Structure 1
Amino acid sequence: MEDLHAIIKGCTGNDHKHQKMLYERFYGYALKIVFRYIYHYDKAVDVVNDGFVKLFHNFHKFESRDGAQTEKLLMGWLKRIMVNTAIDELRRRHMLPEIGDLPDHIWQIADNNLAADQKVLYKELIEHVKKLPPSYRAVFNMYVIDGFSHQEIANALGISVGACKSNLSKARAHLKQYLKKDEESTEICNL
């Protein structure tokens, strides 16, 4: 934790060495966040880099606290910046779906608190989320995975709260169908 406080202090002072350390420490985390919105690997990397530029440009706004909460606060702030940067990119591209895949080594940079089976389930969930239409996918990611409120999503995407709730409901229905098909195909394979 001491190390993170030194990195944060260095980033606040616009020290490039500490910025590089923060970038390397949270790059995999940021890429997984962005990849839930933008599925082309090269484009996702560009968005992550843009997000880190925004993060470092506004680092003076981050309120560091002593104690164990610092890393969680930083990760939450980084998550919000990455989601907003990805949404901005989707808006520029008129939310066109992209096709691509994250290399397997990115999934190995997973949260140390997750068990191996949770990492596999997460990856499978993301594979199904990728199949959703872009508007459903964005709302699902923002609400279920990233924890935004309906009002925040509506504001970010420029839609009504009702449309947000409707898109979330439809996304969940699609995902249930995908999971049901997976379950049925698993049962057939086990026969």
Structure 2
Amino acid sequence: MESLYKLIRDCIARDSKSQRAFYEYYYGFALKTVFRYIYQYDKAADVVNDGFVKIFNSLERFKFKKGDADTERILMGWMKRILINTAIDELRKLQNSPVVVELPEYIWEQTDRCYNADQKILYKELICEIKRLPPSYRKVFNMFVIDGFSHGEIANMLGISEGTSKSALAKAKAQLKRFIENRFAEKSYAV
């Protein structure tokens, strides 16, 4: 854990080697987070880079207590919020549905160390199903279910009402339920 504190301190001090190590260590996490919003790999990679610039510029405001075992989890949550806001800003600029492409396989191999093999596969399948949702449902679903934002926060970030956020979430869940039911029905017939 001491190495994480040192890495953060060195990044705040603008040590380029530490920033590179931080970037490389968290790149897969960042790309997977952004890819749930931006489905063009090249554009998602650009958004991740923009997000890391924001992270490095505001890292000194990240509050952590030395010796806190949850520091990495808290750091990743803090970074996720910055990355999601950066992705949403990019979506506002694009104002259209992104082209859906797959992430390179090596990114999935860098899935967070706390997941076992089954969880990695389920995560990947869930992301593939979410990509099928209409963009407005997809954003709300990602923000509420996966990223843990409240409907009030979602409404504020996306410029919609809380009712619209709740409605989009309900429709997204219903559509995902149909996708999952259809997949299980297909698998039952295949067996």
TM-score bracket relative to the smaller structure: over 0.9
Are 1:142 and 1:148, in contact at CA under 8 Å, matched by a contact in 2? Answer: yes
RMSD between aligned residues: 0.9
TM-score, with structure 2 as normaliser: 0.97
Write the distance in 2 (CA, Å) between the matches of 1:41 and 1:97: 10
Distance in 1 between residues matched to 2:64 and 2:177, nearest whole Å: 41
Residue 69 of structure 1 and its aligned partner are, at CA, apart by 1.9
Match runs of 1:80-159 below 5 Å: 80-159=81-160
1:46 aligns with 2:46: yes
- Greater Cα offset, 70-79 or 126-135: 70-79
Structure 2: distance between partners of 1:6 and 1:98: 40
- Displacement of 1:95 after TM fit? 4.4
- Cα 1:74–1:95 change in 2 (3 A) is farther
TM-score (norm. length: structure 1): 0.97
Counterpart code for 1:20: R
- State the match for 1:189 in structure 2: 190
- Please say if residues 97 and 133 of structure 1, whose CA atoms lie closer than 8 Å, have aligned partners that are also in contact: no
> 2:165 matched to which residue of 1?
164
Equivalenced residue count is 190
C-alpha distance after superposition, 1:71-108 (max 9, x if no partner): 11211111101111111111111142321110111111
Query: After alignment, is 172-181 or 63-72 more displaced?
Result: 63-72
State the 4+ residue runs in structure 1 displaced beyond 6 angstroms: none
Distance 1:95 1:155, change over 3 A: farther
Partner in structure 2 of residue 173 of structure 1: 174
Are 1:8 and 1:64, in contact at CA under 8 Å, matched by a contact in 2? no
Does the CA-based 8 Å contact 1:150-1:165 persist in structure 2? yes
The amino acid of 1:147's aligned partner reads: G
Within 1, Cα distance between the matches of 2:14 and 2:64?
15
Secondary structure, aligned partner of 2:77: helix
Residue ranges of structure 2 left out of the alignment (5+ in a row): none
